[in-house]
Amino acid sequence: MLLKDIRFLITQNPDRDVLENVDVHIDDGRITEIGDNLTKDGEVVDCSDRIVMPGLVNTHTHVPMNLMRGLSDNKVLEDWLEEDIFPAETCMDEHSTYYGTLHAVIEMLKTGTTCFNDMYAPEKPVADAVHEAGVRAVLARGMTDTDGDADDKLQESKQFIEQYEDHDRITPAVAPHAVYTCSSELLQRAKDQADTYNTLYHIHLSETMHENSKCEDKHGRTPTAYLDKLDVLDDRFIGAHGVWLTEHDVNLLKEVGAGIAHNPCSNLKLGSGVADIPRLHAHNVPVGLATDSVASNNNLNMFEEAKFAALLQKRRDPRIMTEQDALDMMTVHGAELLGLDNEIGSLEEGKQADITTISLHDETLHPFHGTRGLLSNLVFSFHGHVTDVYVQGTPLRRNGNLQTIDSDTVKRECRRHATRIHQHTQDLHEQQ
């Protein structure tokens, strides 16, 4: 396939080149050539009115929770989880998890995301949906042992990893939920599993001040220092949130090359706070952008997330978190965080053809003042609805139309499950 006459190609390569009027040739799922006047056999897609950029990378999600959009607002994390989300999750089954995932994938494809890093339980229906829809994902069976039982969960996690370790779009990972929902034994056994299979270790980290103070009361350390003591920090460690990291924590992450998934909207909506991203950048701690689930966001639009991420840091100093910084966080830095930067995150010869294309006719991209202005529009004014999305060169969305998912069926099934979840949480609240 040939993407022909691309008006602007945002490569996100090491020089951050934005090329004009170029062609991209794709063969067998990879970008084989970028250049002028390429002629190849196969399909030709006219991109003369398109921006072409890398597919976006969402580094922390719980995609089945698309069924819980707007279920509970106006609460702090602990109340939100205990009073509404955990009870709602008792209604989730394989069928609802599968359709919730497809609903999330539809939303992500609409807004240019081609890869996400997810933790949920069960995760098998998430993998089924990802496999069928054609997107890319890092997936892990989320684990807690507040009920005192970790063996079954570790076993399920192990089986999940073994089932998907050779999949070409699914990268399995290990995901203990958080220091406040996992025993030290589970946190360490999860690390052993991550070492055995050489996977990422994905965990919620210092999301709220409350999490930090509880951990300090119980273990005498911040969550990061506690995890360091348990010997689970390394360069395959991804902490989601990192809002309340201390200077010592940041240094611990830096020493081992661990990274942070930054969720600005969710952190604002649950009143958790604002992560200090410039400090992480100053210490060269990898940071990827993320939405968290729609239950606390309440959407999966990474363009919107990037704008929030930039504005939150600009509130103190408008010179930091430029449009280029925001674009890096949603593409190449996200790919680095997930250990996938040899394959995705930028558009370069040899990399996977995970691509988003955007119509230049969109009013929110007009007018633009040079290349920097174009990037500025993408981060600060674009509403986020993209035109085409490709993963491994396969079109998943074309001229705004889904190619692999029947959205009417997904919406119908999701409405049915959402009604059931709503009724269950209402009944619970009435009983209390």
Q: Tell the smallest beta-carbon distance from residue 21 to Zn ion (Å).
A: 42
What is 238-287 written as a DSSP string? Answer: EEEE-TT--HHHHHHHHHHT-EEEE-HHHHHHTT-----HHHHHHTT--E
Q: Which of 10, 238 has the CB closer to Zn ion?
A: 238
CB of 126 to Zn ion, least distance (A): 14
Q: How far is the CB of 292 from Zn ion (least distance, A)?
A: 5
Closest C-alpha to 293, from 142, 149, 172:
142
- Report whether 259 contacts 286 (CB < 8 A): yes
By beta carbon distance, the residue nearest Zn ion is 292
User: CB-wise, 45 or 143, nearer to Zn ion?
Assistant: 143
Number of Cβ within a 10 Å radius of residue 16: 15
* Distance between CA atoms of residues 243 and 101, nearest Å: 27
Q: How far is the CB of 266 from Zn ion (least distance, A)?
A: 7
Q: Min. distance of Cβ 243 from Zn ion in angstroms?
A: 12
Residues binding Zn ion (CB under 5 A):
292
Looking at beta carbons only, is 107 or 292 nearer to Zn ion?
A: 292
> Of 199 and 263, which CB lies nearer to Zn ion in the complex structure?
263
Q: What is the spatial distance between Cα 346 and Cα 333, in angstroms, rounded to a whole number?
A: 10
Q: Which C-beta is closer to Zn ion: that of 12 or that of 144?
A: 144
How buried is residue 141: exposed, middle or buried, by Cβ count under 10 Å (0-12/13-18/19+)?
A: buried
Select 292 or 328, whichever has its Cβ closest to Zn ion. 292
Distance CA 225, CA 258 (A): 13
C-alpha–C-alpha distance, residues 306 and 290, integer Å? 9
Could you tell me the smallest distance in angstroms from the CB atom of residue 240 to Zn ion?
5
Beta bridge partners of 394: 391
Question: Is the Cβ of residue 269 or residue 351 nearer to Zn ion in the bound state?
Answer: 269
Please choose, from the candidates 307, 394, 312, 275, the residue with its C-alpha nearest in 3D space to the C-alpha of residue 111. 307
CB of 35 vs Zn ion, minimal distance in Å? 42
